[in-house]
Structure 1
Amino acid sequence: MADPNDDQTARDTTGAPDLAELQHWTWVMGRAQQMMMEQGIGLMQAGPAADAAGSNPFAGSALLRQTQDFWKDNLALWQRFVDPAAAAPAPPESEGDARDKRFKAAAWRDDPWFDWIRRSYNLIADHMLRGVDALEGVPEQQKDQLRFAARGLVDAMSPSNFPMTNPDVVEKTIETRGQNLLDGLRNMLADIGKGQLTHTAEGAFEVGRNLAMTPGKVVKRTPLYELIQYTPTTERVLATPLVIFPPWINRFYILDLTPEKSFIRWAVEQGITVFMVSWKSADASMKDVVWDDYVAAQVDAIDTIRDLLDVPSVHTIGYCVAGTTLAATLALLAARDEAAKVASATFFTAQVDFAEAGELRNFVTDEQLALIGALSPQGFLDGRYMAATFNLLRGRDLIWNYVTNNYLLGADYTPFDLLHWNGDTTNLPSKWHLSYLTDLYRDNLLVQPGAMSVAGEALDLTRVHTPAYVQAGREDHIAPADSVWKITHLFQGPLRFVLAGSGHIAGVVNPPAAGKYQYWTNEAGARSLEDFIAGATETKGSWWPDWIAWLHGRGSNEVAAQGARLPGEGRLPSLGDAPGDYVRAK
């Protein structure tokens, strides 16, 4: 135990440091300032060109100018902290820094120490990201990868992620006498045990109990998918039924969350006979499954519904990767002269041209593809790896936000249906997954006529004349709107493009009753997304009513909701209630 009379630990009755300690810390801060000045002044004085000896090879370069700017800004910030009365006033904050949710507590601005920490971090983060842009002679794709890595590092090093540099955590720790850290440690150890970050309260949601509740029956089961037919709620329904292909990298009930958010329930209420494909989460039995199998499954589902209801064609929806696959299905049917089986195709945030596919392209290097193979010894990729990948795309919101709230502050998890779905992972057939990343994301083969084939048929998207409704999300970081737009240059049939507010999920799952967001349409047509936006009309609220009006435009004939239109009453008997078995399999 330290001697209370020791000069280094003595305190007066108020708990404040004594004069000797104040002098010591003043010297430390002054010495730190001197060291920074000695390092930075030389860089700031660097000439515009290298000296004769070539000792400054970066002189005059954008990178050197960026470094000089950093030191100037850093020294100015340090001067304002050490001697605020003599220093120039701080420059106004950017809009992004001012609205940063990580630093919303008043102490980040009112307390000089935490204000300096925050400003120092923002300065370093800004210059790190600008430094990547200043690199010269680096290929653009490699620069994109560096930007992504730099942003990940910047998000990880935020002072809000560490207990001693976050005023909220400091205050909470004092208030609870450290109980928040113990509670947070319990949360962290639980996540380590299950190998996945928790985003919402455990046990708050369950499919069939308060999620995926739209009534229906499983009417077909194959080794790859279950086909669910939903119970009509209207006396008459559109003659042409609808089949939805969700992405198999997630559970289908993103389109059937709570009843208030369910696209499926809403579509049934609009008088549509709705079928849903529920994909099986991969296991060792699916080690040889490839993309052709998913295309074949879509064709099989289409034919099954046509035969069950005795109709010539069906409407289709493909979401994300299943939309990419639907495009291949349409090309296959066109090659077989069977395009008439599909009356229309709707694409939710789906890409076919991956030249501008966003940040996921940063995960298709040779090293990362080799890692995926190493992580799949049984022939399937554990869905937790994919979940971690998507979390990394929005690390600030989906990783570090929860580190702060649930590990450092020890807060309880908030029930949130969307985040429950996000954490309900599915396994992927590794052979399919690797080929998908290689053939589409890396090599972009689908848009090259004849470069890919399915079941021996060469695919050519320019042969697709099926009427299409293409929806993109303005803030989508998984399937960027610029990338989704490219489908308009390939399909030859009538096409309606709609740009929805928000992103990959909220831009799609936006029920009209919520009154949220908006969407844009352009009846005059456009040659580029920029032209589309420039001439677009904005409509408040959900785009779903626009879609249903478009669907009725493809044919409004109705039939009675009876016989085979009732699940289990036709040639396919019920195999069990919706949402089925596959959605529950881990």
Structure 2
Amino acid sequence: MSESEKPRQGDFAPYVVRDPQAFALNVARAVEQAGKAASAWLAPRDASNAPVDPSNAIYGEMVSAFSEIGNYWLADPHRALEAQTRLLAGYMDIWSRSIRKVSGDATHDTAVETPDKRFNDPEWRENLFFDFMRQVYILTGAWARSLVTEAEGLDEETRNKADFYVNQIVNAISPSNFIATNPELYRQTVEENGANLVRGMQMFAEDMTRGAGNLKLRQTRPGSFEVGVNLAVTPGSVVAENDLCQIIQYAPTTQAVFKRPILICPPWINRFYILDLTPEKSFIAWLVDQGHTVFVISWINPDLRHADKDWLSYIDEGLVFALDTIAKATRETEVNAIGYCVGGTLLSAGMALLKRRGDTRIQTATLLATQVDFEHAGDLKVFVDERQIAALEAVMTPSGTLDGGHMATAFNLLRSSDLIWPYVVGNYMKGREPPPFDLLYWNSDATRMAKANHSFYLRKFYLENQLTAGLMELDGGRISLSDVTVPVYSLATREDHIAPARSVYQGCLAFGGEVTYVLAGSGHIAGVINPPHKNKYQYLTGPAPKADVAFADWVADAPEQPGSWWPHWQSWVEPHAGPKVKARKPGVRGKTIEPAPGRYVRE
């Protein structure tokens, strides 16, 4: 919009419907599409076959947390009056400044505010109505958060839950999310006579249908990416498979390779190709180019057949199966292992179990955004208590799995202001397809979770934190991370909402050997998938974590290095990689099953 086209103070022309007939017709069409979305939502909720809804447990936890906050403030009338007075005084201050603004008094200007991209449109400050709505919203949100932070006598779990739920509500009620209170949406709706709403509701109906009654929010343009076409295209072959996974070996790009192969254990929440996105972002391709022989576990998308596949199954039929495959393919019995997120948690527990069994094939471990201690596991703990786990288990019983949409929603809620509401506004109100984005395509490519494995993960790790306490039992005995004495490279990221950097730091203390802790910039995905040629972000290095050195103190003293952590890791792993040998072609005894990325990642 040019300067001459921008609305000016008191100019309501851009907000007046110009063609009432066309507007009414488009509203009717939008309502029709909304009706289709409602039908898609109702279909799986037929009274005769209504599925168990785990969100009921979440609502109960939210009400319980808010009740505790309310009890604190209402228990003392003076305290409650003070809180209300503070809010009303803020409203009156906004009102008085708005009145002065109308009269042309320049002293109405507010203090410098933190930039908020939701309110980038000039009208949020230049138009009296929208400026008032914006300020009231910001004030009310800050006040609501203060009720949580200032409430005394709360246990940490209740405070964290209340803070999380308040943030979700505050993000949801932002005036930027509604047509009548968002100047940009309002103008567009008037300019297009509501045609944007028709497109948006059509996408809404499509996304509700794709999610089989649950909204599958599109975060990237459909059809922009295809696994094996422009994602996960690093050359290689599937060299072994079983009911739970395929093992991929990648083709060399150098004439000589390091003697010790690399095994990657990725998460089974979503797909392994987060490590093999487009060629310029592929961590796997970069590893191959550095002279490593790379193997990766590609987990199957489980169904009812896999309901009883538990944590031990994923170790034996995944991790151990991969080690056996590497030995057959390369005749090497020593490997350097890499685990990402929950794949790193499995790798850590697996190494402790293998040590108890006398299996020492894993000689080093690289843990990417991996938690092994869950005391400070962050906002995901909001979804994990006995009541909510029981509800999830009830959901998983009929199908033997948890639908990937549940986990995708939980992860999106951790950053709802970035991963939910901008797409709700852009897709369904502006009627605009989101741009192509490989990372968000992967994020939406959710997988199911096998019931036994997922229940074990939630209970034994998140709820009971057994691993670092030495209480976890696997295969008939207890395991201990203190038995893991191989060198460990543990990478955390500053803005990680899934594996918080403090939690990763604390987990390092449980290992029995030398741990190199590195703190990268950005978050759980972008901080890990950070190719050196982009020269983005930074990373901190320092001494090994110690029990008497707090995480904050480690960060304060650690020197900062610019760019990607990948070359730093390469310099760390090379002394453990062995001499160079002739490059190896993929295959077990010269045989392969199919080209990478294989069938399982597409299922």
* AA partner of residue 446 (structure 2): T
**Aligned residue for 1:25?**
none
Matched, 1:408 2:429: yes
2:249 to 221, 224, 229: 229
1:397 to 418, 427, 452: 418
Matched, 1:432 2:453: yes
Q: CA deviation at 1:555?
A: 3.9
* AA partner of residue 87 (structure 2): F
**Aligned residue for 2:138?**
122
Matched, 1:530 2:552: yes
Distance 1:110 1:89, change over 3 A: closer
Q: CA deviation at 1:534?
A: 2.1
* AA partner of residue 532 (structure 2): P
> What do the CA deviations read for 1:150-171 (whole angstroms, capped 9, x no partner)?
1000000001111111101111
**SS of match in other structure, 2:574:** helix
> What do the CA deviations read for 1:282-329 (whole angstroms, capped 9, x no partner)?
101001111111121212211221233111310100000011111101
Matched, 1:94 2:116: no
Matches within 5 A, 1:155-166: 155-166=171-182
Q: Supply the distance in 2 between the matched residues of 1:57 and 1:573 (Cα, whole angstroms).
A: 73
Q: Supply the distance in 1 between the matched residues of 2:185 and 2:15 (Cα, whole angstroms).
A: 22
2:303–2:401 contact (8 Å) kept in structure 1: yes
Q: Supply the distance in 1 between the matched residues of 2:350 and 2:418 (Cα, whole angstroms).
A: 36
2:328 to 281, 289, 307: 307
Distance 1:525 1:383, change over 3 A: closer
TM-score normalised by L of structure 2? 0.84
**Aligned residue for 2:293?**
273
Q: Supply the distance in 2 between the matched residues of 1:479 and 1:328 (Cα, whole angstroms).
A: 17
Matched, 1:521 2:521: no
**Aligned residue for 2:564?**
542
Q: Supply the distance in 1 between the matched residues of 2:373 and 2:209 (Cα, whole angstroms).
A: 39
Q: Supply the distance in 1 between the matched residues of 2:544 and 2:390 (Cα, whole angstroms).
A: 47
**Aligned residue for 1:212?**
232
**Aligned residue for 2:190?**
174
**SS of match in other structure, 2:312:** helix
2:586 to 564, 567, 570: 567
Q: Supply the distance in 1 between the matched residues of 2:366 and 2:327 (Cα, whole angstroms).
A: 18
Q: Supply the distance in 2 between the matched residues of 1:551 and 1:155 (Cα, whole angstroms).
A: 43
Matched, 1:58 2:80: no
Q: Supply the distance in 1 between the matched residues of 2:81 and 2:489 (Cα, whole angstroms).
A: 49
* AA partner of residue 382 (structure 1): D
Q: Supply the distance in 2 between the matched residues of 1:555 and 1:390 (Cα, whole angstroms).
A: 35
Q: Supply the distance in 2 between the matched residues of 1:531 and 1:190 (Cα, whole angstroms).
A: 50
**SS of match in other structure, 2:280:** coil
Q: Supply the distance in 2 between the matched residues of 1:199 and 1:432 (Cα, whole angstroms).
A: 28
2:210 to 167, 173, 194: 194
1:220–1:572 contact (8 Å) kept in structure 2: no
2:85 to 68, 77, 80: 68
Q: Supply the distance in 2 between the matched residues of 1:317 and 1:70 (Cα, whole angstroms).
A: 51
Q: Supply the distance in 2 between the matched residues of 1:525 and 1:441 (Cα, whole angstroms).
A: 22
Distance 1:70 1:15, change over 3 A: closer
Q: Supply the distance in 1 between the matched residues of 2:427 and 2:595 (Cα, whole angstroms).
A: 37
Distance 1:171 1:550, change over 3 A: same
Matches within 5 A, 1:329-408: 329-338=350-359, 340-376=360-396, 377-408=398-429
**SS of match in other structure, 2:191:** helix
Q: Supply the distance in 1 between the matched residues of 2:100 and 2:121 (Cα, whole angstroms).
A: 24
* AA partner of residue 574 (structure 1): T
2:270–2:446 contact (8 Å) kept in structure 1: yes
**SS of match in other structure, 1:375:** helix
1:475–1:502 contact (8 Å) kept in structure 2: yes
> What do the CA deviations read for 1:27-82 (whole angstroms, capped 9, x no partner)?
xxxxxxxxxxxxxxxxxxxxxxxxxxxxx852443x54333211111111122224
Q: Supply the distance in 2 between the matched residues of 1:163 and 1:486 (Cα, whole angstroms).
A: 45
**SS of match in other structure, 1:128:** helix
**SS of match in other structure, 2:358:** coil
Q: Supply the distance in 2 between the matched residues of 1:57 and 1:132 (Cα, whole angstroms).
A: 15
Distance 1:555 1:219, change over 3 A: closer
* AA partner of residue 342 (structure 2): V
Q: Supply the distance in 2 between the matched residues of 1:430 and 1:529 (Cα, whole angstroms).
A: 35
Matched, 1:481 2:501: yes
Q: Which has the larger radius of gyration?
A: 1
1:152 to 146, 168, 192: 168
2:15–2:190 contact (8 Å) kept in structure 1: no
Q: Supply the distance in 2 between the matched residues of 1:241 and 1:419 (Cα, whole angstroms).
A: 30
Q: Supply the distance in 2 between the matched residues of 1:138 and 1:535 (Cα, whole angstroms).
A: 32
Q: Supply the distance in 2 between the matched residues of 1:244 and 1:425 (Cα, whole angstroms).
A: 20
**Aligned residue for 1:46?**
none
Q: Supply the distance in 1 between the matched residues of 2:363 and 2:152 (Cα, whole angstroms).
A: 51
Q: Which runs of 5+ in 2 are unaligned?
A: 1-12, 17-73
Q: Supply the distance in 1 between the matched residues of 2:377 and 2:315 (Cα, whole angstroms).
A: 21
Percentage identity across aligned positions? 43
* AA partner of residue 240 (structure 1): R
**Aligned residue for 1:243?**
263
**Aligned residue for 1:53?**
none
Matches within 5 A, 1:440-479: 440-449=461-470, 451-479=471-499
Q: CA deviation at 1:392?
A: 1.0
**Aligned residue for 1:289?**
309
Q: CA deviation at 1:83?
A: 4.8
TM-score normalised by L of structure 1? 0.87
Q: Which runs of 5+ in 1 are unaligned?
A: 1-13, 18-55
Distance 1:16 1:392, change over 3 A: closer
Distance 1:103 1:57, change over 3 A: same
**Aligned residue for 1:26?**
none
Q: CA deviation at 1:525?
A: 6.3
1:66–1:134 contact (8 Å) kept in structure 2: no
> What do the CA deviations read for 1:464-495 (whole angstroms, capped 9, x no partner)?
10111000001111100000001221112122
2:15–2:187 contact (8 Å) kept in structure 1: no
**Aligned residue for 2:156?**
140
Distance 1:131 1:343, change over 3 A: same
2:175–2:182 contact (8 Å) kept in structure 1: yes
Q: Supply the distance in 2 between the matched residues of 1:235 and 1:504 (Cα, whole angstroms).
A: 34
Distance 1:303 1:457, change over 3 A: farther
* AA partner of residue 432 (structure 1): N
Q: Supply the distance in 2 between the matched residues of 1:529 and 1:16 (Cα, whole angstroms).
A: 52
Q: How many residues align?
A: 525
**SS of match in other structure, 2:516:** strand
**SS of match in other structure, 1:260:** helix
Q: CA deviation at 1:90?
A: 4.9
Distance 1:136 1:572, change over 3 A: farther
Q: CA deviation at 1:409?
A: 0.9
Q: CA deviation at 1:528?
A: 3.0
**SS of match in other structure, 1:559:** strand
Distance 1:399 1:241, change over 3 A: same
Distance 1:179 1:299, change over 3 A: same
Q: CA deviation at 1:347?
A: 0.1
**Aligned residue for 1:580?**
598
Q: Supply the distance in 1 between the matched residues of 2:125 and 2:351 (Cα, whole angstroms).
A: 57
Q: Supply the distance in 2 between the matched residues of 1:492 and 1:524 (Cα, whole angstroms).
A: 12
Q: CA deviation at 1:516?
A: 0.5
Q: Supply the distance in 2 between the matched residues of 1:381 and 1:467 (Cα, whole angstroms).
A: 35
